[in-house]
Amino acid sequence: MKVLVVDDSSTMRRIISNALKQFMPDADIVEAEDGNDGFDKFQANQDVELILSDWNMPNCDGLEFLKKVVETGHTAPVIMVTTEAEKSNVVTAIKSGAKNYVTKPFTPDVLKGKISQTMGI
């Protein structure tokens, strides 16, 4: 499964990638450093099956990135992985097309559960 991880923090990208490798050892992980980079890599990797995106990023934030992905009609689910834990932000993300939401900090088990719930696996 190809997974796109979009986060401006290289440390957080590494944490997410390492967590994914624990329960999805065959995952093909593509990393992006902001929403613009994420959208470029999304367009270059149309076989992406799952997207994990931060909210707060420079240049193009996660909500803008999410809306751009949704506008393409691509069906890869987007899970927001962010410190934005306010209920209104969760609602905004879901209404904008996110399929699930994980608040930082999180454990690998929480991430696995959200991915399993989202992907139906």
Task: Determine the residue type at 119.
Answer: M
Spatial contact of 16 and 42, defined as CB atoms under 8 Å apart: no
The DSSP bridge pattern shows strands 78-82 and 28-32 to be unpaired
The token pair at 115 is 């991915």
User: Tokens at residue 33, please?
Assistant: 């450093």
| pLDDT for position 84 | 77
Q: What tens-digit pLDDT sequence spans the chain (121 residues)?
A: 999 999 999 999 999 999 999 999 999 999 999 999 999 999 999 999 999 999 999 999 999 999 999 999 999 999 999 887 788 888 999 999 999 999 999 999 999 999 999 998 7
Q: According to the model, what pLDDT value does residue 85 have?
A: 79
Number of Cα atoms under 13 Å in the Cβ half of residue 13: 16
Q: Order of strands across the sheet with 28-32?
A: 28-32, 2-6, 48-53, 78-82, 100-103
**CATH entry, 2-119, from 3.90.1150.10, 3.30.70.270, 3.40.50.2300, 1.10.10.10:** 3.40.50.2300
| Per-residue exposure over 41-56, b if at least 16 CB sit within 10 Å of its own CB, e if not | bbeebeebebbbbbbe
44/19 Cα distance (integer angstroms): 24
73: left (phi over 0), alpha (psi -120 to 50) or beta: left
